[in-house]
Amino acid sequence: MALFGKKDKKPAANLSGKSRLDIKVKKDGAEYTFLLEGRLDTITSPDLEAKINEATGDASKLILDFAKLDYISSAGLRVLLGATQAMDGKGDMVVRNPTQPVREVFDLTGFSNLFNIE
Amino acid sequence: MRELIIEADRMNLPEVQMFIDEQLEEAGCPMLTQISIDVAVEELFVNIASYAYGDGHGKAVVQVSVHEEPLSVEITFIDNGVQYDPLAKADPDTALSAKERKKGGLGIFMVKNTMDNVSYEYKDGKNILTIKKNLN
């Protein structure tokens, strides 16, 4: 099909999948675990922020499992900073299993020192 | 050079990143490099969407060129909104504690530190910001 150039190969169906974040929340007493899958960006971070705000009211421990988080931008960092500040004096916040791209962002921005990373 | 002209609206971020990723994938860009470019693209496009036109509407132009030897990509963002040099902003202090840290400035800081070159100019009523990144 030589008539169709490279431009026609654009996978438009994938467009909505580009900015996607699945959030699963597990509650064990006052310990909350958030399992994130996808991308924490400008579009998806308000959803996480809202869910964390619901939890930090009575949480004594906040665990964020990033094993399946492929991407984080400054919008995501702002949510994590807000969460750390909300947990200050109330309990621990732990980030588990950060992937390499997320780890690199944490190291660059000094966020590696703001919470425990396991 | 390929060009995308798009409404400067943050909800268009996936479309802008798809446009960039297409060129990067074609050039054989490594995945980690692609992710860092995607982050830079988000920070710069969302900056335009958030500030260039105040409460009004306007366009953003995104231009991408891939160069050989060394294999590298150059991405330029153009808007004709209010004059603003994001590179003039002071870097956040990354050594502060969580309590002391502010939420601003992290995006541009990441762009400056992950790209190989970042430049800004204001010309003919346009903000023109260019990033360059080696792909291997």
Q: Judge if pTM exceeds 0.90.
A: yes
Taking contacts as CB-CB distances below 8 angstroms, the residues of chain A near B109 are 109
> Per the domain annotation, does A1 fall within a domain?
no
Domain span at residue A59 reads 22-117
Mean pLDDT value across residues A92-103: 97
The CATH number given to whatever domain includes residue A44 is 3.30.750.24
Are A56 and A62 a contacting pair, CB within 8 Å?
A: yes
Mapping DSSP to helix (H, G, I), strand (E, B) and coil, where does residue A58 land?
A: coil
Q: Residue A37, SS3?
A: strand
- Is residue A2 in a domain? no
Q: For chain A, what is the domain count?
A: 1
Whether the upstream peptide bond of residue B70 has omega within 30° of 0, thus cis, is yes
Percent of chain A with pLDDT over 70: 86
The mean pLDDT of A89-99, rounded to a whole number, is 95
Among the partner residues A88, A108, A113, nearest to B113 by beta-carbon distance: A108
Asked if the model's pLDDT at residue A3 lies above 80, the reply is: no
Q: What percent of chain B is modeled with pLDDT above 90?
A: 93
Residue A7 reports pLDDT greater than 60? no
Nearest CB to A10; choose among B11, B22, B114: B22
Average pLDDT over residues B19-44: 97
Q: What is the mean pLDDT of chain A?
A: 89
Rounded Cα distance, B38 and A39, in Å: 11
Q: Please determine, looking at this structure, whether the domain spanning B2-134 carries the CATH number 3.30.565.10.
A: yes
pLDDT band for position B12 (50/70/90)? very high
| pLDDT score at B27 | 95
Test the B interface: residue of A49, A74, A111, A115 with most B CBs within 10 Å: A74
Kindly provide the ipTM of the predicted complex, given to two decimals.
0.95
Phi, psi dihedrals of residue B63, rounded to the nearest 5°: -115, 135
| Residue at A15 is within a domain | no
| Per-domain boundaries in chain B | 2-134
CA distances from B59 to A16, A68, B14, B20 (A): 21, 34, 16, 17
